[in-house]
Amino acid sequence: MTNARFPELAGDRWRSGPVREAAGFLDRWRGLRPSPKDWGLLLKSSSVHSFGMRCDLWVCGLQGMRVVEVRRLRPRRIVWLRGADAILELPIDVEPPPVGLDLSWLDARPTNPLRHPDRQSG
């Protein structure tokens, strides 16, 4: 997987890094486990678990695109974020967004991709 294909979430002076959306039951069940380091996962749910995880992670409750709650989730736990429409899971070494921040999607694809080095004008 290359992060050039995945969007990021961003707000005032904060960026998530690449985020993938959980597409179905298996994606939700696996959570962050199959993701590369520093990737986030967006789940359309108000609760998540950390069974099978070996380290802590950040769970950020979103209502619409606004961060309404941020919690540290330890392994083998369940958390329910009341009022959240979605949850953004982030690795513990990624700074979570502050509560109250309005997020928007950024396209992670390069806007000006490099051409072949032999074909670029000097």
Domain 3-106 CATH (choose: 3.40.718.10, 3.40.1190.20, 2.60.120.1140, 3.60.40.10): 2.60.120.1140
pLDDT of res. 7: 87
Question: How many Å apart are CA 35 and CA 31, to the nearest integer?
Answer: 8
Beta-strand relationship, 40-43 and 86-91: antiparallel
The whole-model pTM stands at 0.78
Helix (H) or strand (E) holding 30: helix 25-30
Mean pLDDT of 94-117: 74
Q: What is the pLDDT of residues 3-36, one digit of tens each?
A: 445 789 999 999 998 888 887 776 666 666 655 5
Query: In Å, what is the CA distance from 23 to each residue of 27, 28, 48, 70, 85?
Result: 6, 8, 15, 23, 15
Provide the mean pLDDT of the chain: 81
CA gyration radius for the chain? Answer: 16
Q: What is the pLDDT of residues 68-94, one digit of tens each?
A: 999 999 999 999 999 999 999 999 999
